[in-house]
Amino acid sequence: MNYYCKKITIIHLIVGARPNFMKMAPLNDELSLHSDKFQAMLIHTGQHYDEKMSKLFFQDLGMPEPHAYLNVGSGTHGQQTARIIERYEDYILQGNRPDLVIVAGDVNSTIACALVAKKLHIPVAHLEAGLRSFDERMPEEINRILTDRISDLLFTPSQDGNANLINEGVAPEKVYFVGNIMIDSLVKHRVKAEESTILKDLGIAGHDPYALVTLHRPSNVDEVSGLMILLDAFAELGRHIRIVFPMHPRTSKNIELLDLTSRLEEIPNLTITEPIGYLDFMKLQMHARLILTDSGGIQEESTYFGVPCLTLRENTERPITTAIGTNQLVPLDSQSIIEYSERILTGDIKKGSIPKYWDGKTAERVVHVLDEWFNLA
């Protein structure tokens, strides 16, 4: 008998930290629609391990359990990156060699797994390639540059990404402008997010205005001086509007360690919560009067929702959100934060528009490229 056996292309989708989950979920879904050609395997490094930083996102996004969990946990950059490299290499060498590894964004899991794959001569694709803050003090900037440098396929979310890569000498035929894959998750889950009861749970009635705050960048939360500036600004902001502040574990640990708990408690009108799941957080974003953040993803999500966002950083690797979106960079001083917030609260609001290909169809475009790249189309 003559059996014709068609080869299935095996793809590892690497997730590790919170912002990876909403980028890989749409790709995992899309690849599963093409199971005659592709088998996607989710590999979780365990960089984020708290229930509310990881498991909750799998549930909210309807993601299957990962195929492998490397359980690396926290540590210094060196320790964490080294553990991921060691364990992921080990996993591949134990008979789990894929045909392609896809990494996303700029976290330590991204560069660590890209490096392992590349040295084992496995092609690497980078989702969210080409973004640059041009600030090499940010660990994420190093992760982005190095991952892009060794990737075989570079999927950019906006055309500034293409320009950055071409300027760095990346061969244009490796670069594909596919749009923002995180927006695929927003488009898919927006209706479900509206059903979240988070506003009611927090005692926010009807159209009660509130400002949504998130902070976790080392440059903002690792030093007393930076944290004091931010807490002072929030103390004034709280006199004008209620503040909802889901707190990242890094931030809560530092506030305690740096003895700033009483400063935090003095802020009027402040509701602090633990990290919040995907659907609840979407609802909080959609209905906020104003968002203050140092996150990368929230700059993009707020632009998509058309909600004013003040980014408490000196620079952004997502300049399209300030150029055409609702985002505004604010220098790290209390007076500026208060002034920019007051402008928004008194109705001086920047009208933004949604960038090209932030349309919920990025995963489809990525799979189309993969089809052609592997010559499966």
The contact set with ligand UD1 (CB under 6 A) reads 17-19, 47-50, 53, 74, 80, 106-108, 139-140, 216, 248-250, 253
In the bound state with ligand UD1, the residue whose beta carbon lies nearer, of 139 and 238, is 139
What string of DSSP letters covers 247-285? PPHHHHHHHHHTT-HHHHHTSTTEEEES---HHHHHHHH
Minimum distance, C-beta of residue 159 to ligand UD1, in the bound complex (Å): 23
Nearest-CA neighbor of 294 among 260, 263, 337, 253? 337
Minimum distance, C-beta of residue 271 to ligand UD1, in the bound complex (Å): 20
In the bound state with ligand UD1, the residue whose beta carbon lies nearer, of 69 and 373, is 69
Beta strands of 215-359 (E only): which ranges? Answer: 242-246, 270-273, 290-293, 309-311, 327-329
Minimum distance, C-beta of residue 368 to ligand UD1, in the bound complex (Å): 29
In the bound state with ligand UD1, the residue whose beta carbon lies nearer, of 31 and 309, is 309
Minimum distance, C-beta of residue 193 to ligand UD1, in the bound complex (Å): 19
Pseudo-torsion of CA 138, 106, 46, 274, nearest 10°? 70
Backbone angles phi, psi at 48, to 5 degrees: -105, 130
In the bound state with ligand UD1, the residue whose beta carbon lies nearer, of 15 and 338, is 15
Distance between CA atoms of 192 and 267, rounded to whole angstroms? 33
Distance between CA atoms of 299 and 291, rounded to whole angstroms? 9
Minimum distance, C-beta of residue 275 to ligand UD1, in the bound complex (Å): 8
Distance between CA atoms of 45 and 75, rounded to whole angstroms? 13
Nearest-CA neighbor of 233 among 85, 356, 333, 367? 333
Q: Give me 17's structure tokens.
A: 């930290």
Asked about 189 being catalytic, the answer comes back as no
Distance between CA atoms of 373 and 37, rounded to whole angstroms? 12
Instruction: Say which of 216, 240, 248, 368 is annotated catalytic.
Output: 216
In the bound state with ligand UD1, the residue whose beta carbon lies nearer, of 216 and 242, is 216
Distance between CA atoms of 334 and 237, rounded to whole angstroms? 10
Minimum distance, C-beta of residue 138 to ligand UD1, in the bound complex (Å): 8
In the bound state with ligand UD1, the residue whose beta carbon lies nearer, of 48 and 189, is 48
Cβ proximity of 100 and 123 under 8 Å: yes
Active-site annotation, residues: 216
